[in-house]
Amino acid sequence: MREGKIPTLMHISPFFHNDDVRMKTSRASGPGGMNASRRSTKVQIWVPVEKLILTDEQKKGLRAKYQKYINSEDELEASCEEERSQEENMDNATQHMTDLIAKAITVKAPRIPTEVPRPAMQEAIHQRRLRYMKSKDRKDSKRTSDTEIQKLFEEEGK
C-alpha cells in the first residue's frame, strides 16, 4: 500500500485542487491473474470537505446527503478498482468524487402541479354519483345494490 499526493495526470475537478487530495493505492480484489497479484491498481482518494470550493451551505448539504462517504476526519472518500491500470482507476475515482459533489449541490426543481387527468376526474364524478344514489336510496328506504345502481347509470347513459 502506498499513500501520498495525487499525481497531476488525474481528472481535473472544479470542486477541489490537486494539492488537497490524499491518495492511497492497494491491490484490487477479484480476478485478474498475475496483474492482480503484482500491481496496486485499486485507488482511494480523500478530500477534506472544508477544502472543497463550495459555499458553507453547500458543504452542509453535502455532509447531510453523503454521510456514508465522509469519514471521521471530515474527508469525502471515493475509490475505484474496476480497471486494470492505476491511472484509469485514479481518473475514475476523481470523476466519481466530482459527480458526487455535483449531485449533492444540485438543487432539485420544484414540481409544477398539473391538471387532473380526464379519466380520474370522470371516475371521481362517478363515485360521487354512486354515493348520492345510495344516500337517496336510504332516504327513500328502498334498498338497492351497487349492481342495480350501475344498471341505472348505464340506462341513463343510453
| Domain boundary assignment for the chain | 2-105, 118-157
Q: What is the domain class of 2-105 according to CATH?
A: alpha beta
Does the structure show a pLDDT above 50 at 9? no
Query: Predicted confidence band at 158 (pLDDT cuts at 50, 70, 90)?
Result: low
Instruction: Dump pLDDT digits (tens) for 115-144.
Output: 888 999 999 999 999 888 888 776 665 555
Q: What is the pLDDT of residue 142?
A: 53
Instruction: Dump pLDDT digits (tens) for 24-79.
Output: 988 887 666 666 668 888 999 999 999 999 999 999 999 999 999 999 999 999 99
DSSP assignment, residue 131? H
DSSP assignment, residue 24? E
User: Which of 120, 115, 133, 126 is CA-nearest to residue 157?
Assistant: 126
Tell whether pTM > 0.75.
no
| Contacts of 84 by beta carbon, 8 Å cutoff, 6+ apart | 32, 35, 41
Rounded distance between C-alpha atoms, residue 28 and residue 86, angstroms: 10
